[in-house]
Structure 1
Amino acid sequence: MSIALFTLGGTIAMAGVGPGERPVVTRLTGADLVAAVPGLAGLGAPLDVRDALAVPSADLSYRRLIDVVAAAAQAVTDGATGVVVTQGTDTLEETAFLADLIWPHAAPLVFTGAMRNPTLAGADGPANLLAAARVAASPDARDLGVLVAVNDQIHAARWVRKTHSTSTATFASPNAGPLGHLVEGRVRLLTRPPRRPALPPVDPARLDATRVALHTVTLDDDGWQLDGLAERRHGLVVAGFGVGHVPSALAPVLSALAEGIPVVLTSRTGAGAVLRHTYGAVGSETDLQRRGLLNGGLLDPYKALVLLRLLLAAGADRDAIAEAFARHG
């Protein structure tokens, strides 16, 4: 039995062009990463290292991630106990959630990365890689879906968020907290949330052709940026104020869009749910749902966009989309 390690680049794999030189670029291989981590030999399972990509996380795409998840699934089918994916942290909250929506196995699929590159004092990549490998090797981490292991914490992909641009403690799950911790090298899971079934496979070509917009509502927003959106995009996620509110002037604009494409209402706050029937003014959550907007629940705007795009690419109709958001949100 082994742990499959897929490397995708990012800060964890960056170094200067020459010794000590900056700015840094991706150039470390999976073998380089493993060589820098003391303690991997004590896992009890060898690492099967696969250099899948070497790009900043901003250059990852749905198709690339689906290919990685497919390769990870094949590794499990071939006998791997679990899988670790290293990548840049900028998009990790979205890529891990995308993977969680389509991961079919009980075996752990664990994402990790780093905030400090290896040229800096206190680089966190080696510790995070070791933690992720320990989680992937742990029987206790089975059947939890996709996980994120960073800073000796274990997060569910569906809840984790990047909350700070530079801190090594950037990843948090504001609505639920971490599922567990690494304590003296041991995986300690404190809770086991029920797992959602994986979504049906999506044709990559159809996914490439499916595009969803995100509009963050701001003070005095009249929606001019949304003009003609239904002709350019297949769906829209709205990041509203607070519990799901928008200016009254924006409500009819969103109402008109919802007649042609699915429009999902989320909160821009970073934590908490969109309400359903508390406020009744024009532009409130009750008013917007009456106008045809779908409630995103606890999903933040970025995760809602991932889910909506996968659903639309699979040909889901409005009722199926509403049901999926009720289940995942």
Structure 2
Amino acid sequence: MTRISVLAMGGTIAMAPVATGGVAPAFDAESLMAAVPELAGGGVRITAKTLRSLPSPSIGFDDLRALHAAITAELAEGADGVVVTHGTDTLEESAFFLDATVDTPAPVVVTGAMRHPTAAGADGPANLLAAVRTAADPAARDLGVLVVLNDEVHAARHVVKAHTTSPAAFTSPGAGPLGLLVEGVPVLRSLAPVRPALPITANTPRIGLFTTSLGDDGEVLRLAVPALDGVVLAGAGGGHVSEAMVPVVAEAAARLPVVLTSRVGAGPVLSATYGYPGSEIDLLARGVHHGAALHPLKARLLLHLLVAGGAAPDQISAVFALYR
């Protein structure tokens, strides 16, 4: 039988109403499984473990290190695939962290819910079932970490949460989903995996994320740089800042790694189109690293891993280039 390990981290999929109002994490992994009787049989044996019971904004790097270790252990002990249940607010970041660090062809699938279990039309059970069936499908091997919600399968390196409440909140701008579940069966298309298998260390560098806006002179960035170990700059359009901001960016790049991304959220940073002060040509010539096509949030996670591991500047550029 195919063995799938389900690891629970908390999130809306595991929440219930509380006396003070609203909902909060309440259900463990076994309870989530019990709510989906369709998981039984079908040639799949499932084990379930609760690692955390947290709303996803409270998940930090220590929790992700523990999740990585648990996934590695489950696969080493014979699991054919792993499903992680997780809150949706930071799901795209945790999934990308795993995508950049887990080195295995075995399917690792992250899922969650937009509606808690006691809400009308709760989507958690369907998402969990779809995630398990995807993890058990041989076609899901060697695709990198996957995100499954609303019967859609997304690559962790592309997916973002694009709506605050819709069950169809997760999209992959510029790429689209890798596949769909049709009558409960995953229908997938291939994707060349990007698997840098970066080391995880106990180091916790401070990586700042700065989104430029109209009239930004860079003063906030200038004040923050002394407290930082790296910077991700979410520039306008194809990777641009105001002329007034250029000296601040150049000074920062001389002191620590600065990665250029786009605040647009879809499409790559340009390399050789615009030549004015503050353009991508100008910034790259000043030692800023090209952020490829990564969303700024994911670029921050990747830079965190690289800086924590002591990567040299040429190594940082080489890893980011994988995501073009």
Structure 2 length-normalised TM:
0.97
1:184 positional shift: 0.4
1:178 positional shift: 0.6
Within a 5 Å distance, the mapping from 1:165-176 to structure 2 comes to 165-176=164-175
Partner of 1:213: 208
Residue 97 in 1 paired to residue 96 in 2? Answer: yes
Verify the 8 A CA contact 1:217 1:240 in the aligned structure 2. yes
Q: Distance in 2 between matches of 1:304 and 1:31?
A: 34
- AA at the equivalent of 1:194: A
Q: Distance in 2 between matches of 1:315 and 1:298?
A: 23
Partner of 1:160: 159
Residue 180 in 1 paired to residue 179 in 2? Answer: yes
Q: Distance in 2 between matches of 1:29 and 1:197?
A: 31
Residues 64-94 of structure 1: CA deviation (Å, up to 9, x unaligned): 1121111111111111111000010000110
1:42 positional shift: 3.5
Partner of 1:12: 13
Within a 5 Å distance, the mapping from 1:26-45 to structure 2 comes to 26-45=25-44
Within a 5 Å distance, the mapping from 1:1-329 to structure 2 comes to 1-17=2-18, 22-189=21-188, 191-204=189-202, 206=203, 208=204, 210-329=205-324
1:290 positional shift: 1.2
Identity of aligned residues (%): 49
Verify the 8 A CA contact 1:43 1:134 in the aligned structure 2. no
- AA at the equivalent of 2:196: A
Structure 1, 30-39 or 149-158: larger mean CA deviation: 30-39
1:158 positional shift: 0.6
- AA at the equivalent of 2:3: S
Unaligned runs of 5+ in 2: none
Alignment root-mean-square deviation, CA: 1.2
Verify the 8 A CA contact 1:274 1:298 in the aligned structure 2. yes
Equivalent position SS for 1:249: helix
Verify the 8 A CA contact 2:232 2:258 in the aligned structure 1. yes
1:228 positional shift: 3.7
Q: Distance in 2 between matches of 1:216 and 1:200?
A: 26
Structure 1, 212-221 or 228-237: larger mean CA deviation: 228-237
1:230 positional shift: 3.1
Q: Distance in 2 between matches of 1:307 and 1:92?
A: 15
Q: Distance in 2 between matches of 1:76 and 1:217?
A: 42
Verify the 8 A CA contact 1:172 1:178 in the aligned structure 2. yes
- AA at the equivalent of 1:234: D
1:280 positional shift: 0.7
1:260 positional shift: 0.6
User: How many residues end up aligned between the 2 structures?
Assistant: 323
Verify the 8 A CA contact 2:81 2:135 in the aligned structure 1. yes
Residues 52-72 of structure 1: CA deviation (Å, up to 9, x unaligned): 000110111122112111111
Equivalent position SS for 1:2: strand
Equivalent position SS for 1:328: coil
- AA at the equivalent of 1:195: P
Verify the 8 A CA contact 1:66 1:99 in the aligned structure 2. no
Q: Distance in 2 between matches of 1:178 and 1:34?
A: 26
Q: Distance in 2 between matches of 1:263 and 1:133?
A: 39
1:38 positional shift: 3.2
1:187 positional shift: 1.1
Verify the 8 A CA contact 2:269 2:290 in the aligned structure 1. yes
Verify the 8 A CA contact 2:105 2:143 in the aligned structure 1. yes
Unaligned runs of 5+ in 1: none
1:229 positional shift: 2.9
Q: Distance in 2 between matches of 1:270 and 1:4?
A: 32
